[in-house]
Structure 1
Amino acid sequence: MALDLQERLDASSLLALAAFLHDLGKFAERARIGEANEKRADGTTRIEIEKQLHCPHFNGRATHIHAAYTAIGFDLLERDLPDLAGERVTPFAPWRDCDADDSLINAAARHHRPDTFLQWIIATADRLASGFERDSFAAYNKASDEAPAQKLNHYTTRQWTLFERIHLQERPASGRWRYPLKPLSPASIFPVLADRYESADTNAAQAEYAALWNGFRAGLARIPAEHRRNLALWLDHFDSLWLTFTHAIPSATAGLGGSVRPDVSLYDHSKTTAALAVALWRFHDDRGDAPEAIREQLRAQWDRLRAGDDDSRQAWEEEKFLLIQGDFFGIQDFIFASGGETQKRAAKLLRGRSFYVSLLAELAALRLLEALGLPPTSQVVNAAGKFLIVAPNTAEARATVRAVQAEFDGWFLSHSYGQSGIGLAMLPARARNFQAGKAGEDSPFRRLTQRLFEQLEEAKLKRFALCGEAPAGPLFRDFLDAFTAKGVCGIDGRSPATTEEGGIAVSALAADQIQTGHYLATQQRVLISTECLNHHTLKLPIFGYYVNFSHGEADTGRFGHEAKTGHLRRCWDFSLPESADAPLWNGYARRHINAYVPRFGALNEFERSRYSGLDSPSVDEIKTLNHIARDDRRLDEEGHWYGQEALMTLKGDVDNLGRIFESGLERPTFARMAALSRQMNAFFAIYLPWLCAHGEDNGVSRYRNTYTVFAGGDDFFLIGPWHSTLRLAERMRKAFNRYVAGNPDIHFSAGLSMTKPGLPIRQLAALAEEGLEAAKAYAPGGPNTAPVKNAVTCFGQTASWSDFDAILAQEAELERLAGEFGLSTGYVYGLLHLTDMAAAVSQRPENALWHAYFAYRTRRMLESRVKGGEDREATECKRRALQGELAAEIAHKGIGQFGAAYKIALFTYLYQQRD
């Protein structure tokens, strides 16, 4: 009997769980769980029994012992898992049913010794996720879990970083960095040097795994028991839990020292295996294929692969997988839409709109998953408005994608009038497309990745199907008639106003964006439901879902009834990290879609005077941009505030991202691609908000007044006090370099724009974008050379990051010199002209006179500062010494080295002195 959509979703979720945890035993075995050595009545240990059931044998010994531990691990976790023994376990038979064709646990544990149809499905997905090749397959099945005792083994080996392996140019390979074996946190996502961390102490390594295992089991018990009957909802929670505790566990350690590189985490391998397994099973099940026939087909295919036989490649060639990409286009138009009332609510709108973009992308992926009857694990990439879903390549699935695209188009045309939207692109794939390829040869998976990028670019040019064969008719019919007495929306400046928010006529979408900005400051969880929960609920449904906010369980409970009835589809924790090393797990699925928002602390009279003339703030109130613009001002000895009142907008993104994904890895696999996307996103979505909230320089919290308008994927947009944000850019660049293990091929460029706080937000964004474009065009070799990027633009000057660091150091030196020599503001201003002359010597040779101008002006300044006494020779000697020092620091190390870019140091100094 064919399954309905909900039944297919539940069945797919259970299969996903089996595939997701097929390598659970790697975690359990490395933790040396004591339950494995429990003895039966006949004296046989539990592990020995499971070895006979689940492990392959080679030369008289059991291999892949972790498979036996997978079965034991399931037993230990059973009480906190969805019901595996009841009647609702399709496509599996009830657990321990002796007549069962297969059970979920057997399907997970026997992936190295598959026999049944479902076991072969998971085994095939496991191998495809790893990008298997013919010459490595046999060795893989013979490999031991362990390496020789005198070397690092599977306990002591720590995960390598993928970033270190990326090459866009020829250079020596390196393998010096490892990830610490810790739960996911802002601190643990950074690699550490192997020679300072990785050791051959097996006992200590096992103790690290045991601590992680115990944390994982305790975390599993925190998932609400009421959510277990809603399999997709529970699995989404479990996905975040598994990520938290396995993001730094190497998935592959068999064959260490050979071709195996432990650079993919257990999480990323689990996630891609689950996605491929569900798509493969659904391809055959949705078509009604006979399981026995498919089992034999898969078994024969892998036998031929092992033997190097190319005959009868039906299972290898058929396009069984459908890769579906989603992309939010028009993000900036959506975030920075500007009406007459926008500035009054600038901070709240920025916060709300940025979150709303992430929310739209999340809900678009959810709508597509549910329409296809796929579990959350089928979404393998999700970052910065982009997602990738693996589906079965059936006619029904393709038609569903087209229907969902029409839904998205209708929603966006109704609410953003075509200025933004979500596009979907489909790409069928064969099993062989997931092969990594041999070193030095063309990679099938690399070609697949390139086609994915091309497909998405093509989809961007077909927005809203406006160039299709059968256009839907005139757009925005009756648009003008929708404007009532309320007029145009005061927030976006284009939509018909339908309601009021704070006394201003706004559209329903704008009202929800304002409310979202408010809820983000007070709530920590978002609940997605198909019925209104009447708890901080947004008015406008998104793709058929209601968005509800809550603070925590004490506030709302666990919504157990809504979970059991199926009305509650997702429950996402979006709270920001509490500390650098606190595990990012609170019992619910996490989404890193919230931005850091600066707030007022307790203010004394001294601090309140900083904001004199502005609205009086209260404790824990969110700061406005007007307040933030004053946060870098300083107090002089007479109690007067000085320094420029201004904002700095910082916008940037990773350079050459397409090349990094398309050709950066020597042997790309599906798991590696998913890992690379997740890890690239983590720096901006996890670390950056924490840095803004808690980051310190020399014990001082310098960045807590910075708004993270958006940060995720490969880009970021920040607004903060001008000088702190300038320093934040420098700190970010250094942190990112450490994050990517010092790889010179991975870097980002950025644009910094300093403005008054009253400038419209859209103009702030445009100025920062201009700066970013200039940084991306940075070509120190001249206008006829290719840009090298890896640069920053500030105060209209573009410099490499290394020069930028040196220039900021020169600004500190300039402040020292000003204090010691009493440099006047007029003297420093005069240096600006000299930087222009020094930068244009090649165009105008007479500009080389800047040296003479500098010497003359400096001499005149010193004559007024250093007065002569009776000993005129001593006075002259002192003046010459001081002039030489100024020439060395300003003329040589400053203007002479950096030319016009030295203006960055000059402006930074001057703006700090303004009254």
Structure 2
Amino acid sequence: MEFDVKEYNSVVLGALLHDVGKLLHRGNDDYKYSDSHEAASAKFINKFLRILKNDNLYDIELIRMLVQYHDTKIKKETTLNDPYFLDRSEEQRKRLWKLITVVRRADSYSCAERDTENAWANRTLPLDSIFSYINLNSKEALEENSCKYNLNQFNPKACFPKPVDNLTAPEILEIIKQFENSIPDFSRFKNFDDVLNKWLNLIEEYMWSVPSDTRYKTGVSDISLYDHLRSSAAIAACLYKRHIAAIEELKSMSRTEEFILIGGDFSGIQDYIFDITNRGSGGASKRLRARSFFIYLFSEVTIHKILHALDLPIVCNLFSTGGKFLLLAPNIKGADNILQRVKTEIEEEIHKTYFNQFSFLMSWMPIEGFREEFKVYSFFKTAEEMFYKLETEKIHKSQNVLAVAQEKKWNPEAFKATEMYEAYQGNSDCKICGKGPATYEEKDKDEQGRPVKCCFICYRDKLFIGQQLPKCNYIAFGKGNVTKEEEDEGKKIVIFHNEKDGGVEKKDHYYVELLEDYRDKEEYYLIYDIGNGSEKADLTRSIPIKKYYANHIPVDDNKKVLSFEEIAMLSRWKKDDKVYGSDLLGVLKADVDNLGLIFSKGFENPSRVEAELPDIDRKTVSRFLTLSRMFELFFTGWIGEVMSLAYKDKVTEELLRIDGIEKESFKDYLGGEQIDFGNIYTVYSGGDDLVLVGPWETMIIFSVYLNQQFRKYTCNNKFITLSAGLTFVKPKHPIASAIKQADELLNKSKKRRKNRVTLFGTTVKWEKIPELINFFLFLNEKLNVENPIIKPAFLHRILEYHRMALRFLDKGNIEGLKYISNLSYDIARNIIKREADGRIKDGKEEYITLQKLIGNKPDKKSLIYNVKIPVYWALYRNRKNL
């Protein structure tokens, strides 16, 4: 049976473009009078036919026919009367109908919510934020809100929702104009993958904020058209391959077990990333960033390797973040064997090269009835089942390389690590990680001026990834032969080495090149654009896919990367020619609370409107993609931009909107040069978590800003929150150890019912932060007046009263209650200055504010309970720096 590649490409592209009319018929005179969005999609193809057609790669007339008749409400008789069907044989007409059925089925599987009351969509209705409908409480219906998106080009700043009721005609017309002006001449393209990548870029950029459907009875339109089109293309690709025999033989296309869902998870990656020593020639930060980035690369290339083995397009990657992924594949003969082979190859690479310092889990399962399991309410359950299977895989990890499957026993030879043992001959342990033979010598010396011997992995991490990453704008993924010299010199970062059979190389290497400037090679099969430059519009091959990757690091005026010592010094400030401030680093670790629960249960509970409707449940593959993509965008796109662009005025404006903040004092404080997010060093940010390092005081403000903006980004939904841990260390403290400390503080925040931050050894709800900031601002101001009444010694006594209060409030020790009388006496004796007649001369303002430490009654809500945060903040800030 001959596979018709051109027809297959046409079906995939037809599914990807089938709903572009949902944007176009909203405003442009060429489309808005179309009878339907299907007709608008077809008119678009006819309008740009000259530059859209590419007879070598696909049939543009077939694509036009597929988009025009993809709606199941259009009768077969109407479809067969289209001119495209004229002068066709009966067999050809039947085959074409099969192709239409594939696209129709892909459309309905992707976004099966068809409970509509209006045939005509509301063309000015904006996209609802998907976050506004997350509900984890079955007993509580969410209040309705107007958390929606303007019609903008895709970028992190534009992805914050606003109270928008309707889109305006000018913004609709403008986005259509921009979209049409961005369409290249596809007739010049030589490779279908480049065509697909270019369309993915265009559709995401201009259609991310277009609702997939605005006809629902619920009035909810929270699925992005981009995600619907992308998943439709993935499903169509799988359906075509699954039913190729039925298409060829004009037989019925059974809906039973049409698909395989493939899940992958990298386990132990946190230990691998952070388990390095602080010995060597420095550069621990580079190594950490390099290892984090390498895991990202390894995960991406693993996905590519699986898709290549199954000959599937990139759109079949449904979800990938944080080392986890879900792929969709057709359930075809031989798929099990292919997946088992690829799984073994991946495990062998990890075993041979990294000796299982991290592990890869992979599982797959057929989807018995897509119409049932991917029905409105079931995709999340299917995904949850897959992730459960991956958890059970942990007890079997690495068995493919450590055991003889046929004999069901361990393979002793696999445990010997023969190649590694041979490399140890005449070499000691790596001075950096201590887990490999020290066969390489770093160019830099250690603090004693001695050469540092290390393993190739640590050598590569620092020299080839850590140093190149700050300048990297493109990630080029290649497949081909890589010589040992090319790998040793860092020209190519090998992810998967090829195999040899009797000395003959069987497979190409999978490798990566980090590029500052765009370039093309025949071996490149994919390029990611992770820079901030404009897209190269004239490209017709190796089209980069736009990806956001938080990659900011602070540099000096000469573009030299700042050391941690230099970053810590940025906390200093001057007054009267004297220097103040502690040279400390702040290490922040934060992540989203209850992420698994949000994905698995977040859409089970209806809004107030939906609660009145029968059998409404809103889980679809498109919604899954939209939710995961929007989380990813915040931690990769927004985080990267807020640091690299460092728009301080905007940050100040936003921070002053925090409820309860004393605005004038806070504004004066934020005006200082030491609060600059451009000074923050990115160790990792992506998926749903981050690790950042910066000047300690900047990191306090950034953590507050991070939570404020995350709440805004997620519509202030009370079920979507962040937890964080922030530790402070000296710049020479081992950074890996500091990150572990921050992780422990994050776990402390999680254990205290989440939605909290832990710093200075104190865990507080985010909502308590404004009160603590205000008290810090008060202390900071009073410490800096001429002839201050409040002095550092008094702040240290406040800390003692705080410890007394904790003994009572946490342990029930009655002796601790003395903090009230002791503090009151201290204030009266040392803060208030009276005239001879008893009238207060000085200290009245201080007295009134300090009374907040006592409060109406001793409880954990009182300021004294959390006062350690503002007191230490004030002490560290006002410490004289000699």
Question: What TM-score does the superposition give when structure 1 sets the normalisation length?
Answer: 0.80
Supply the distance in 2 between the matched residues of 1:716 and 1:907 (Cα, whole angstroms): 25
Structure 1 residues 501 and 210, CA gap change in structure 2 (3 angstroms): farther
- Residue 523 of structure 1 deviates from its aligned partner by 3.0
Which residue is 1:621 aligned to?
560
Structure 1 residues 331 and 237, CA gap change in structure 2 (3 angstroms): farther
Which residue is 1:176 aligned to?
146
Which residue is 1:652 aligned to?
590
1:420 and 2:377 aligned? no
- Residue 95 of structure 1 deviates from its aligned partner by 4.7
Which residue is 1:574 aligned to?
530
Q: SS at the partner of 1:387?
A: strand
Which residue is 1:444 aligned to?
378
1:271 and 2:224 aligned? no
Structure 1 residues 834 and 896, CA gap change in structure 2 (3 angstroms): farther
| Unaligned segments of structure 1, at least 5 residues | 38-46, 52-61, 97-102, 147-152, 299-314, 438-442, 580-585, 602-618, 779-787
- One-letter code aligned to 2:133: R
Supply the distance in 1 between the matched residues of 2:740 and 2:512 (Cα, whole angstroms): 31
1:509 and 2:509 aligned? no
- Residue 769 of structure 1 deviates from its aligned partner by 1.0
1:816 and 2:787 aligned? no
Report the number of matched residues. 776
Which residue is 1:351 aligned to?
289
- Residue 448 of structure 1 deviates from its aligned partner by 1.8
1:454-511: CA deviations, max 9, x gaps? 1232234432125763545432432322214453333322112333342543333333
Which residue is 1:109 aligned to?
68
Structure 1 residues 529 and 881, CA gap change in structure 2 (3 angstroms): closer
- One-letter code aligned to 2:16: F
Supply the distance in 1 between the matched residues of 2:814 and 2:631 (Cα, whole angstroms): 47
Structure 1 residues 899 and 237, CA gap change in structure 2 (3 angstroms): farther
Structure 1 residues 774 and 539, CA gap change in structure 2 (3 angstroms): closer
Matches within 5 A, 1:732-811: 732-778=706-752, 788-811=753-776
CA contact (8 A) 1:512 1:538 kept: no
1:6-27: CA deviations, max 9, x gaps? x86x765543222111111212
Q: Which moved more, 1:210-219 or 1:737-746?
A: 210-219
Which residue is 1:310 aligned to?
none
Q: Which moved more, 1:492-501 or 1:377-386?
A: 492-501
- One-letter code aligned to 2:642: L
Supply the distance in 1 between the matched residues of 2:877 and 2:491 (Cα, whole angstroms): 45
Matches within 5 A, 1:299-698: 315-316=254-255, 318-339=256-277, 341=279, 344-429=282-367, 430-437=369-376, 443-465=377-399, 469=408, 471-473=410-412, 474-478=414-418, 479-503=420-444, 504-514=452-462, 515-531=464-480, 537-542=491-496, 544-553=509-518, 556=519, 558-559=520-521, 562=522, 567-576=523-532, 588-601=544-557, 619-638=558-577, 640-666=578-604, 667-693=618-644, 694-696=646-648, 697-698=651-652
Q: Which moved more, 1:750-759 or 1:166-175?
A: 166-175
Supply the distance in 2 between the matched residues of 1:705 and 1:655 (Cα, whole angstroms): 27
- One-letter code aligned to 2:178: G
CA contact (8 A) 1:346 1:625 kept: no
Structure 1 residues 2 and 293, CA gap change in structure 2 (3 angstroms): closer
- One-letter code aligned to 2:476: L
- Choose from 16, 22, 26 the match for 1:20: 16
Structure 1 residues 883 and 802, CA gap change in structure 2 (3 angstroms): closer
Supply the distance in 2 between the matched residues of 1:708 and 1:325 (Cα, whole angstroms): 29
- Choose from 795, 798, 807 the match for 1:828: 795
- One-letter code aligned to 2:125: T
Question: What TM-score does the superposition give when structure 2 sets the normalisation length?
Answer: 0.83
Structure 1 residues 212 and 459, CA gap change in structure 2 (3 angstroms): farther
- Residue 540 of structure 1 deviates from its aligned partner by 3.0
CA contact (8 A) 1:358 1:593 kept: no
CA contact (8 A) 2:378 2:619 kept: no
Q: SS at the partner of 2:867?
A: helix
Which residue is 1:725 aligned to?
699
- Residue 834 of structure 1 deviates from its aligned partner by 0.9
- Choose from 829, 847, 856 the match for 2:816: 847
- Residue 792 of structure 1 deviates from its aligned partner by 0.8
1:784-825: CA deviations, max 9, x gaps? xxxx21111111111111113321222112212333543221
Q: SS at the partner of 2:257?
A: coil
Structure 1 residues 118 and 794, CA gap change in structure 2 (3 angstroms): same
CA contact (8 A) 2:789 2:843 kept: no
Structure 1 residues 173 and 368, CA gap change in structure 2 (3 angstroms): same
Q: SS at the partner of 1:389?
A: strand
Supply the distance in 2 between the matched residues of 1:658 and 1:332 (Cα, whole angstroms): 18
- Choose from 44, 61, 67 the match for 2:38: 67
- Choose from 94, 99, 117 the match for 1:118: 99
- Choose from 109, 116, 130 the match for 1:128: 109
Q: Which moved more, 1:719-728 or 1:854-863?
A: 854-863
- One-letter code aligned to 2:630: Q
Q: SS at the partner of 1:873?
A: coil
CA contact (8 A) 2:242 2:330 kept: yes
1:139-189: CA deviations, max 9, x gaps? 58xx5234xxxxxx31x1100011000101214332311111001112111
- Residue 432 of structure 1 deviates from its aligned partner by 2.4
CA contact (8 A) 1:233 1:569 kept: no
Q: SS at the partner of 1:823?
A: coil
Matches within 5 A, 1:83-102: 84-86=54-56, 88-89=57-58, 94-96=59-61
- Residue 77 of structure 1 deviates from its aligned partner by 4.4
Q: SS at the partner of 1:450?
A: helix
Supply the distance in 2 between the matched residues of 1:839 and 1:272 (Cα, whole angstroms): 54
Structure 1 residues 480 and 174, CA gap change in structure 2 (3 angstroms): same
Q: SS at the partner of 1:243?
A: helix
Supply the distance in 1 between the matched residues of 2:47 and 2:349 (Cα, whole angstroms): 46
Supply the distance in 2 between the matched residues of 1:746 and 1:95 (Cα, whole angstroms): 44
CA contact (8 A) 1:16 1:375 kept: no
1:403-423: CA deviations, max 9, x gaps? 111111111112222121332
Which residue is 1:616 aligned to?
none
| Unaligned segments of structure 2, at least 5 residues | 80-96, 445-451, 498-508, 536-541, 605-617, 654-670
Supply the distance in 1 between the matched residues of 2:7 and 2:770 (Cα, whole angstroms): 56
CA contact (8 A) 1:536 1:550 kept: no
1:674-694: CA deviations, max 9, x gaps? 111111111111101111222
- Residue 662 of structure 1 deviates from its aligned partner by 0.6
1:707 and 2:675 aligned? no
CA contact (8 A) 1:576 1:594 kept: no
Structure 1 residues 513 and 72, CA gap change in structure 2 (3 angstroms): farther
1:856 and 2:805 aligned? no
- Residue 742 of structure 1 deviates from its aligned partner by 0.8
RMSD: 2.9
Supply the distance in 2 between the matched residues of 1:173 and 1:110 (Cα, whole angstroms): 38
- One-letter code aligned to 1:168: L
Which residue is 1:606 aligned to?
none
1:252 and 2:213 aligned? yes
